[in-house]
Structures are given as structure tokens and as C-alpha cells.
Structure 1
Amino acid sequence: MFGYSVIYILLKWYTHKYKLAETSFYITKGIFLKTVQTIPFSKIQNINRRTSFLHKIFQVTSIRFETGMSSDDSTVEFKVITPVKADQIENYIKNQVASGKEEIIEIKPLTSSNVENDGHEGKHIHFRSTKKDILKASLTSFSFLLLIPLIISIYSNIDDIFHVEAQAKGVLSLILHSRWVLGLVIIILTILSFIFGIVKTSIQFGNYEISSDDNQIYIKKGYLEETIFTITKSRVQAVEIKQSLLKRILGLAEVRLISAGNTNIEDDKHEVNSLFPFLPVSRAYDIITEILPSYEITKQMKGLPKRSLCVRLLRPSWFWVVVTFALYYFKPIVFGFEQIWWVLSFILLIWIYTLRVFDFYHTQYTLNEQFIQLKKGSFHTSLFISKRNKIIEMQVKYSFFQKFFGLASFTTINRAKPVHHNEICDVPADIARMVYKWYQGRTNEIELV
């Protein structure tokens, strides 16, 4: 099996070839079944570069060109490539797209003679993380709380092999019977937790840099494992600003650039298209304006009328009905109370209506000649900004209760992976009609090629 694996890897490497033409990638691969793949440069939405710790040891990197297509072969990926060659491919594609060439004259392999090395002239840095930002990110993300589960997991694995449970019980008994030892252990664990959180956050968000030039945006992050996200400004479908409850209290926000290409890299918790997830709100607005001068963000937004709150409070919650029925059927005993099911049902009902009230006060909207701006959420809020010509579909819906109160809901749909839906519920019906009519003006801004 080892010999077979080695031979298979060598054959796969030998049969995997690529060429760059004037406007397209040409990928040839397959050992027994040969596949020729053609991907136009114009379909590339964003570029993800990842340099893991193992890549750094061998002085190589990986680069992935994401398209907006949905097929399995819609991505061009080089898992192991030299940084120089990756730069050459990226700059070559950038120059060919910028030149606007439409016809394939000759299929040429990539060489140093037909690739320009410098593709980052006029690059402007908008944000670079500091020690203060890393400390704030560590406290806000609660990464310091991960140390205790990590210790428990390590202990469990060690106990499975060496059976140290008896010794552990003796040490635990000694700690619990001595206040001084217990206090010292708590202090040490607290210090180690904060150190662990800072180190983990530094590895994940250290070396964070947001920059741009006239045409592209670059997001770089990571020490041991470095990722670089590159997207052309014209490919940005929308901007989304997210805030959790804690971030709203601290005045922080996370900005995401929505694009049609895939923005996930393996098991990375935060998508690569995310600007620094712990930016001050005012700085987040400034950075959006700097990297996307064509985008307009306004703080003056319209809220929902009071009748919208009435509709939300009158709308039945089927989730509450199902849970209440389950609680009544099973009648769980909690803390010795046998008839606590109705208390749990009442608490759930209060929680649901609390979320609806908060969502009502947070739901806001505004639109101008080219932009639409939508905000919604209860404890977690999101602010969505998009251009009219980037919205591929608009839906307007009316339910029975909404018709009675003169309300409606509308949904904007943008290209993304997966497709991005943003719905605003219970707006006045005339506003929904106005938004729909506003969207019809998109036909004057779209050029069919």
C-alpha cells in the first residue's frame, strides 16, 4: 500500500499540468482518465493563498483561484508551489484581466519573460494589528476559556493509556483540603488561561493587515500559518457588518466582504474575507470607505412602524408550541420539581418575545439612488450594504397578517457561496413596493456582453 501510494502520487504529479493563455487557465490532469479544464480569468472572483507551518519549512505555499461557478472543478488550486511562481501567476492574471483581452491568440506556458513581477504598486495599508488589538481580541473572543477543556482532554487521553486516575484523585484531594493550595492553583490557572488565550489569538490574528491598491483588496493574517485573501474591488457583491452583544457593548464590529467565490479555508473559524473581527465601529466604517470609495454608508436609517411590532407579537411561534407539547408529554423533573414543565414553557415564551422586540427595534433600512442598506437582529445584529447592480434578485411577499396591517417583507439575493439572502420583515407595504420599483432601475445599469 505504501508503494502504491508513492507511485500514485508521482503519477498524479506528473500528469497534472497547466498553461496560461491570454484569457484562460488550461488544466490537464488524470492518470487513466484524462481531463482538460478551461477556466476564463474573468470568472475568477477572489484569490486565497495559504502558507502553513509545513509550507514554511519547505519554503513553498499554496494558492487557490475561486470562481463563481458551482461545479466541482470550478476552482484552480496549486497545493504546493513556490511563492515566486505563485506571485507570477497572480500578477499575470491580474495584468491580463486589466488589459481586457478577449481572444486567445496562442497558448503559452508561464515563463519569467511573459510575466511581470511587480503587481502591488501603489499599495496602501489601511489597518495593521497591534498588541492592544490582539489583547482586546483575546478578551472578546473568550479564547482564554479554552485552556480548561484542553487540560481535561489531555488528562482523559493520558488516563486511557497510563491509568493515572488514582494519582489524580490524591492530588485533587490535597488541593481541595488546603485553602492556600486551592487559591494558588486558581491564580496559576487564571494566569495560564490568559497567557494561553493571548498566544492562541496572536497565532490566529497576529500579523493582520488590510491593504488595497487601485483595483484590489488584500487581507493578510497569521504567524505560523499565513493566509492572504485577494479580491478585485469590482467583484465585491456586498459588505456586511456584524456585531454580537458583547461587541456592541465594547463598540467593536466585524466586517465581511461578500463575494461569489468560496471564502472558507479548511477549518478556519473566521472566513478569510473577514476584516479584523474586532475593529472599533468608527474605524470599521472608515476602512470600508477607504477600500471601497464607491460604497456609501449612512447612519441615518428608518425604523419600523408600531404596527409591525403588533404583527410580530401576534404571529404564533410553532417552535414554542412543539417544545411545550414535548415538555407536557415527557414532564421532565428538574431539581426535584415534577410540574416544572409549564415554567420552562413560560420562560421559553418570554425569551422568544424578547428576541422579537429587540429585533423590531434593531430592524432598520434605507436606500438611495444606487445603494440599499439593511439592518436587523436581536442580540446579534448585522448591517448589510449592497449596490443595486450587485443584487441578482428581489422578492416581495405578503402574509395574511401583513396584508391586514398593510405590511410586507422583501428579500435581496446576492451572488455568494452559498447564495446570500437578506430578508427584512414587516415593513410598510408602500415601502416594499418602492424597494421593488427601485430595483427595477437596475436594468439601466447592467450591460449585457
Structure 2
Amino acid sequence: MTETLSADTPPAATAAETGADRRLHPLTLLLNLSRQVPQAMLGLIALRFSGPDELRPWVGLLALAAVLAMFGFEYYRWWRFSYRLDAEELRIASGVFSRNVRSIPYERIQDVNLEQGPFARILGMAKVRLETGSSGSGDEGALDSVDLAEAERLRDVIRLRKAAQQAGTTAMPGDEAAVGASSDAPVLFAMDSQRILIAGIFNFSLVFFAVVGAVVNNLDFLMPDDFWDPRRLLDFLGLDDLFATLDLAARIASVVAALFGLVIVGLIGGIIRTALREYGFRLERTETGFRRRRGLVTLTDVVMPLHRIQAAVIATGPIRRRFGWYELKVQSLASDSEKESDHSIAPLASAEELRHVLAQTRIAWETDHSAMRAVDPAMWWVPLVFALPVPIIGIGASAAIASPWIALAYVLLPLVPLISWLHWRAHRYALLGDQLYVRSGFWNQTLTLLPLRRVQSVDIKQSTVSRFIGLAEIAIGVAGRPSAVTIQAIPLEEAIALRAQLLQLS
């Protein structure tokens, strides 16, 4: 429940409450300022170089005033924020101009997760994220940031008091100490450096160019108008005359070399990105579910109760599958630290390792592509009948109006039906016992393992064309999943029968 108080009401409202008010770590001020100062500095730099002439000499004074104002506001907001562990609930008081006191009963708290960013790890602090599951917005309460020991104490005390409330007993202080001193849970899956390197190679990423693009977009006022001119770059590197003397074959070779360099940058970017996210990956089996810890710069500690897991997704690709590598995700009612419903619990694992982890969730993996039913071939050729004429006419018109070289794009058109055909070949489904299997995607292959007890709704959809040819699409709603599990292009009679089976078994 949420209470709105006046600005003069103290955080401790009544004498009956048993807990002691606590504030966030004082160094939270530095963390908050570190997030705001860079944006303010970019604005001041823009003002210095492209703002009105009469304001440019005052940039230094404006910067000092901005820093002091931000520090004053953050300090007052920190002073007004407090939290307290009462016997039955956690109370969080916040607000600068008006007070907002939130009371969260322990029995409603589903997850208590810890997160440490780079500065928080250096300073020995952590963010405590609480989720009650009453809305789809993710965590409903957050303490950013507290001392690491205090964060671990909060997690243990909240879990103990939640368990005590469910059992109808009262938690004792000695029991809280015992929880904090409990031994580590058994490890189900872990990632070493070699496996992180392999996963990074498969996770090809051009994030480097995205970062450079973001920086350039914010600092474009400092760059000359012809910054993106290739000849200017060649002239800057002293290669303009050399490139002009090259014949056609040498120029083609230089373009190929540039593309090869792009691939190398993508591989390095994928490795760095994967190492930052998956370093120290450790999946443990706790009394209630899974506990996942990972991260090199930002360390996350996430708990996933088994009763909140709705489905599992096995992701792979044609190359990864050839080497026997898969990724296992679970779709949960709880959102992880990245605000996603899919929790990666085995980023790069063999089939045997995946089945070992899946055994803990009561979700089976008992079939594969060859044993599953294919959908109707209309899935790949019907969209082409309506969509392919548009680029054919567009390329011809552009070549006639602008340049004949545009007609070379016709060489790429055969790839469109090929890709559509490959996606149709990959899309299959199977209903085995009390579990549904849905496979989709050619390059990014996903196999959804859906226990029928988790099915919330089953809808049959038909477009104008699908009604004409007697086909339908089934959309299966699952709690905690942002989009439905879909089976495309199956005969209407089969769709009706499958819907009846799914609803009956669910």
C-alpha cells in the first residue's frame, strides 16, 4: 500500500512500528552525480562552441552553478529517503516536496535481487531490487545504494520473514544470522574463460560502431561539415593519391580488406560484450529455485523461484548447432536486472548440460526438428506473391529515373524467396503429453518448451488471405511473456482441434 504524507511528516510515523529508520549509503550522492554530470557537461560544451556569443564567457560559472545545484538537490533527496524493516512489512519513504511512504508486506515480495555497477563495486555498495509481481513493470521497490553487507542482510532477512509469514511463525534474530551464514548452494552450471570466449565469437556484435555513432551524434557540432567524406579521410591518412592510382582489381581488394576488418571488429566486439555480461557466470540451485550471478563491470545477483518459471527457450543457430552449443533461457513472471522476462541460465552449454538444468524445472526436452510437424508451405510463398512485386517495380523505376546501376539490386532478389523458404522449413511444432514444442527461425533458431499448465489463452487468427486458402494462426498466451507463442499456417480444422487439446490439457 502507498501513503501520501505532507512534506513535514517524519519517516517514522507511529510508535508501534518496531524497525529502525535507515538511509542509503552517503556515497550514493557520488553515484547519482556521476550519472548526471556527463550529460550536463555535454550541454555546456555545446553552449561553449555553438551557443550565443554573450553566454560563452560564462560557461565556467554556469558549470560550477550546475554542479552545486545538482549536488544540493541530490543531497536533499538522499536525506529525505529512508527505509525500515518492520515485523510484517518493509517501509520505504521518499519524496522531496511531498512524502510518499510505501509499505510492502514480506509475503508479497517475490524476489530480492542485488546489482552492483562498476562504481558501486569499487565503493563496496549494491542496489537492492524488490519485486512483488503485482504489475508488469518489474521491480516495485529499489534501494540504490546500500552497503554490500547491508544489502545481503536485507535479502536474507526479507526471505526469512517471508518464509516465516507463509509458515505462520515468527522469525527470530538468531535465525536471521543463520541465514546469512548458510553455505553456498550446489552449482548447476558455470562459465569459464574458454567458454566465454567461444560464446563471444558466436555473439558477433558491431556495438563498437554504435558507441562511436552515439558519441559522434552528441558531438557533431565539433566536427567539420565534410567529416563523413571518404576522400577527406583518405587525404587525412595520406592515401588519397595512392588510392587514385590503384586499378579496379586493387580497389576491389581494398574494399574486401575493409569488410574483413569489419568482421574482425565485430568478433572482438562480441567477445568484449559477452565477457562484460557473462564473466563469472554461476547458476546455483537454491531451496526455492535458481540463483544466478554474473558480470565483470556490473555484477548482478538474481533469484528465480521455480514456481514463477512459465516456459523454457532453447536458442541456437546453424553454426552453433553444428558444434553442439545451445543457450537456455527461462521465461519467468520475474523480470531480471535488464528488465527482460527471459532469464539466461545457460548462455553456452551442451545438450546434456541443458537437460541437467531443465530437470530442475519439470520441463522436458524430448523432441527435435526432425520429429516435429511442419506447417503449410503457404507460409513462405503467400507473402512473396503480395510483397515481392513491390521491390521489383521499385528497383526498375529507380534504375530508369536515377541510375542504371541500381538495376544490380535485382541480383539480391532471389535471396528473398530463399530466406522465406528457410524460415518455413524451420517452423515446426509438436504436442507431446502435457508439453507443447514450437520451433522458429533459421539463423536465430529458438525452440520454445511450454508446459500446458502455464497456458493462459489460445486464440485462432485469420487474415483475409488465410481465410481464402483455409489456413490459420494459433497464438498462445503465456503469463510473463511479452508476446504470444505462435504457430503459423496450419489448416483451420487442425487449428481448432489443437486449441481444444491445449485448453483441455491446461
Could you state the TM-score of these two structures normalised by the residue count of structure 1? 0.76
Taking structure 1 as reference, are residues 165 and 428 closer, same or farther at Cα in structure 2, changes over 3 Å only?
Answer: closer
Q: Deviations over 1:222-269 (max 9, x none)?
A: 233312221111111211112234323333222212122333538xxx
1:234 aligns with 2:298: no
Could you give the per-residue CA deviations for residues 155-179 of structure 1, whole angstroms, max 9, x where no partner exists?
Answer: 999xx699997995248989999xx
- Structure 1 residue matching 2:488: 3-state secondary structure: strand
Are 1:169 and 2:237 matched, yes or no? yes
Determine whether 1:221 maps to 2:294. Answer: yes
Distance 1:333 1:339, change over 3 A: farther
Residue 413 of structure 1 corresponds to 477
Counterpart in the other structure of 1:356: 420
CA contact (8 A) 1:216 1:233 kept: yes
Say which structure, 1 or 2, has more relative contact order (CA 8 Å, 6+ apart): 1
Q: CA RMSD in A?
A: 4.5
Q: Is the 8 A contact 1:22 1:104 kept in 2?
A: no
SS in 1 for 2:405: coil
CA distance in 1, matches of 2:437, 2:378: 24
1:83 has 2:148 as partner: yes
- Residue 365 of structure 2 is aligned with which of 297, 304, 312? 297
- Kindly name which structure, 1 or 2, has the bigger radius of gyration based on alpha carbons: 2
Contact 1:243–1:382 at 8 Å: present in 2 too? yes
What's the counterpart of residue 337 of structure 1? 405
Quick check: 1:60 aligned with 2:125?
Answer: yes
Runs of 4+ in structure 1 off by over 6 angstroms are: 102-105, 110-113, 145-157, 160-167, 171-177, 192-197, 332-335
Q: Structure 1 CA distance, aligned partners of 2:100 and 2:451?
A: 38
Please point out which of 308, 320, 330 is paired with 1:257.
330
Write out aligned runs for 1:161-200 (5 A). Answer: 169-170=237-238
Aligned-partner Cα distance in 1 for 2:152–2:278: 23
Letter in 1 for 2:422: F
Point out the more displaced range, 360-369 or 212-221.
360-369
1:286 to 346, 356, 375: 356
TM-score normalised over the length of structure 2:
0.68
Runs of at least 5 residues in structure 2 that lack an aligned partner in the other structure: 1-65, 246-253
Q: Distance in 2 between matches of 1:374 and 1:149?
A: 33
> Residue 127 of structure 1 contacts residue 210 of structure 1 at CA under 8 Å; is this kept in 2?
yes
Aligned length in residues: 421
Listed as ranges, the gaps of 5+ residues in structure 1 are 444-449
Amino acid at match of 1:422: V
Q: Alignment identity in percent?
A: 15
Q: 1:404 to 1:49 in 2, by over 3 A?
A: same
Superposed CA deviations along residues 332-362 of structure 1, whole A, max 9, x for unmatched, are 7898536456x26xx43x3333233223322
The one-character-per-residue Cα deviations of 1:271-320 (angstroms, maximum 9, x if unpaired) are: 8821343323442233222x32x112211543126xx1146423555543
Q: Is the 8 A contact 1:229 1:273 kept in 2?
A: no
| Aligned equivalents of 1:13, 1:112: Cα separation in 2 | 31
Q: Does 1:375 align with 2:439?
A: yes
Partner of 1:101: helix, strand, or coil? Answer: helix
Change (3 A) 1:20 1:403: same
Could you tell which deviates more after superposition, 384-393 or 16-25? 16-25
- Structure 2 CA distance for partners of 1:400 and 1:57, relative to 1, 3 Å: closer
Match of 2:278 in 1: 205
